[in-house]
Amino acid sequence: MIDQQISVEEQSVSTIRLLSVDMVQKANSGHPGLPLGAAPMAYVLWSRFLRFNPQDPAWPDRDRFVLSAGHGSALLYSLLHLYGYDLPLEELKNFRQLHSKTPGHPESNITAGVEVTTGPLGQGFANGVGMAMAEAHLAAMYNKEGHEVVNHYTYAIVSDGDLMEGIAAEAASLAGHLKLGKLIYLYDDNDISLDGPTSLSYTEDPLMRFEAYGWHTQRVMDGNDLDGIEQAIRAAQAETDRPSLISIKTIIGYGSPQKGTSKVHGSPLGDENVRKAKEFFGWNPDESFVVPDEVRQHLAEPGQRGAQLQQEWQQKFEAYQQQFKQESELFLTSFASDLPAGWDAELPVFSPADGALATRQASGKALGALKKTIPFLFGGSADLASSNEMPPVAT
């Protein structure tokens, strides 16, 4: 089936790539270029860093992973299947089909393990910043001396298109300002957009821009260099006061005859090019949706480690509960998407008899009341808090 001289890591990367290619080809729709180019960085992140338990995708202290370039959804579905989430191979074969768990863009309410619904470029980038803000906020609220119950990273794979978007620019500026050191983005820097070279519309040096935002930046010049990618992520983790952007130079559609071109961005390879891509990676071109046993065993290991990490976290949290009953109840309530009892008890009631009141003032009074009863309510204002009466101004 596969050249046995190839290491299990190389086989794993190829499996991620070719499952994605098979999904797109069977659906006759999708984006094979990103998975072929970005599979190595995804493998390094998921196998060597990401803390997750596929048996419990909602573990509160898991690391978060966002595929901001949601058009490359086949990559994420390959990862979820191979790393043990509840996404059977049959669902991969139903890619982009009605009522499947593998829609064309990831949907967090459909597929276990999808943290963020992505598709509009820049959206996942901004959501990831929000997740990192939440981690910092939760750690400040709940961690006590000798009791650390919140300590996780937020990672994302972002694309050229993401970095072009205004929403990403604003979110990046805020992340740098807030010094979100547990936010690490892998930039699939492949110089190609759907219409052709990114130089058609994008000629800046994004790393210089992100440095100006207050980010830590690095370059990995070979997107297939697994150890180089690992070293860059470790360096990013060591940079605790700045979010990190790692530019990883990839070749879109790597391994296919159309590599490095816009043709491979948003269209299936075609049967003949799929065969040639599989031959390039040393696979049998007549087989589809193949997962070698050794690869399945190898990629089960990170999830098994994650299950053990969750068990250790649960023990720590139980000790935390004994000492900090009120805080632990609030913590669990917030993660259950619930509200504390009596959350609306202090909400103000307005009537015409009260006289004129600006809506921003009414909003401020309501937010001030909610902040007293929902301590985990989280919000902000760029530079108008005194005008729109965001708490704590209103309290």
Report the amino acid identity of residue 268.
P
Q: What is the pLDDT of residue 378?
A: 83
Between CA 155 and CA 178 the distance in angstroms is 17
Between CA 199 and CA 101 the distance in angstroms is 36
Read off the pTM.
0.96
The second-level CATH assignment, the architecture, of 8-307 is: 3-Layer(aba) Sandwich (3.40)
Tell me the DSSP string of 96-159: T-TT-S--SS--TTTSTT--S---STTHHHHHHHHHHHHHHHHHHHH-BTTB------EEEEEE
Exposed/middle/buried for residue 339 (C-beta within 10 Å: 0-12, 13-18, 19+): middle
Question: Which residues lie closer than 8 Å to 208 by C-beta, 6 or more apart?
Answer: none
Between CA 57 and CA 241 the distance in angstroms is 28
Q: What is the pLDDT of residue 1?
A: 46
Between CA 132 and CA 156 the distance in angstroms is 11
Strands 244-249 and 183-189: parallel
**86 token code pair:** 């509840």
Domain boundaries of the chain, sorted by first residue: 8-307, 339-395
Q: What is the pLDDT of residue 393?
A: 47
Instruction: List the one residue out of 125, 183, 130 whose CA is nearest residue 158.
Output: 125
Report the amino acid identity of residue 76.
L
Q: What is the pLDDT of residue 394?
A: 41
Strand partners, 67: 157
Give Cα 381 to chain centroid, integer Å: 25
Between CA 55 and CA 303 the distance in angstroms is 8
SS3 call for 384: coil
Using the 8-state DSSP alphabet, how is residue 283 labeled? Answer: B
Residue 266 neighbours by CB distance under 10 Å = 17
Buried b (16+ CB within 10 A) or exposed e, 186-219: bbbbbebbeeeebeeeeeeebbebbeebbbbbbe
Report the amino acid identity of residue 287.
E
From first to last of its 395 residues, the chain has per-residue pLDDT tens of: 445 568 999 999 999 999 999 999 999 999 999 999 999 999 999 999 999 999 999 999 999 999 999 999 999 999 999 999 999 999 999 999 999 999 999 999 999 999 999 999 999 999 999 999 999 999 999 999 999 999 999 999 999 999 999 999 999 999 999 999 999 999 999 999 999 999 999 999 999 999 999 999 999 999 999 999 999 999 999 999 999 999 999 999 999 999 999 999 999 999 999 999 999 999 999 999 999 999 999 999 999 999 999 999 999 999 999 999 999 999 999 999 899 999 999 999 999 998 999 999 999 999 999 989 998 888 888 888 888 888 664 44
Which strand (E) or helix (H) includes residue 200? none
| Contact yes or no for 348/365 (Cβ under 8 A) | yes
Instruction: List the one residue out of 136, 160, 132 whose CA is nearest residue 68.
Output: 160
Residue 94 neighbours by CB distance under 10 Å = 18
Instruction: List the one residue out of 53, 50, 55, 206 whose CA is nearest residue 125.
Output: 206
SS3 call for 51: coil
